[in-house]
Structure 1
Amino acid sequence: MNTHVRIVVAMLLGLVAFAVTTVAVTAGFEPQIEFSLLIGLPVGVSAGLTALFAGYVLLWHRDRAAAGESPERAVRFRLAALATIADFVTVTAAGVALYVFVGGSLGISLLIVGLPVTLPLAAAVGYLAAGDSRSEQGGFQTQ
């Protein structure tokens, strides 16, 4: 796939994730919070950036694997993208659960502040953890 096509697809994926997440979170918090858009926008931006990053990296990795090459860099970025997706889902679920079951401000704080802090950390940890994924033959495992 051409680099420009990959960029456009990743940007469209990020835009759709931003729009859907912003609307869903805003609508979900609207009955309890008057200014629910102040929660929906940061979560939507985090979702959009996560989808943009993961979409581009996973498409790039797919192209490298289809070409028969799987360099260390591609494997590291793939694991970073997957770690970022897992972090977004986990932190969002934890934030909503804390809001519903424990207390409103703790869950909202995790959604607004926790996501922008933990997403780059998850990407860095995923990237660094890929260094330990070597097989016995000295190459990287991609599947």
Structure 2
Amino acid sequence: MNTYVRLVVALLVGALAFAITTVSVTSGFEPQIEFSLLIGLPMGLSAGLTALFAGYVLLWHRDRAAAGAVSERAVRLRMAALAAVADFFVVTIVGVALYVLASGSLGIGLLVAGLPVTLLLAAAVGYLVADGNRNERAEVQTQ
């Protein structure tokens, strides 16, 4: 797949994730919080950027695998993308659970301020943890 096509697809996926997340979070918190858009926009931005990153990396990894050889860098970036997506869902579930069950402000704080921080940390950890054996050859052959 051409780099520009891959970028356009990733941008569309990111924009869709941003729109869906912003609207759903804003409408979900609207009955309890007057300015729910202040929660929906940061979460939508986090979702959109995560989807953009994951979409581009996973399409790039797929193209590399179809070509026959996947580099260690591609494996690491794929793991970083998957870790960021998993982190988004886990932190969102924990933040909403904290809002509903415990302290509302703690849950909102996790969703608005904690989510972007944990996304970056999860991507970094996923990149560093992937393929920990560096002594093997740099190229991984696929079928």
TM range (shorter): over 0.9
Q: Higher strand share goes to which structure?
A: 2
* Segments ≥4 residues shifted beyond 4 Å: 136-142
Q: Is the 8 A contact 2:75 2:130 kept in 1?
A: yes
TM-score, length basis structure 2: 0.93
- Matches of 2:103 and 2:22, distance apart in 1: 22
**What TM-score do you get using the length of structure 1 for normalisation?**
0.93
- Which SS does the other structure have where 1:70 is aligned? strand
Query: What is the root-mean-square deviation of aligned Cα atoms in Å?
Result: 1.9
Identity of aligned residues (%): 74
| Residue pairs, 1:1-143, within 5 angstroms | 1-132=1-132, 140=140
Alpha-carbon spacing, 1:141–1:27, altered in 2? closer, same or farther (3 Å): farther
Where does the alignment leave 5 or more consecutive residues of structure 2 unmatched? none
Q: Is the 8 A contact 2:91 2:115 kept in 1?
A: yes
Tell whether the 8 Å contact from 1:133 to 1:140 is kept in structure 2 after alignment: no
- After superposition, the C-alpha distances for 1:71-110 in whole angstroms (9 at most, x for unaligned) are 0000000000000000000000000000000010000000
- How far apart, CA to CA, are the structure 1 residues paired with 2:132 and 2:93? 29
C-alpha change, 1:57 and 1:137, in structure 2 (3 Å) is: closer
Q: Give the length in aligned residue pairs.
A: 142
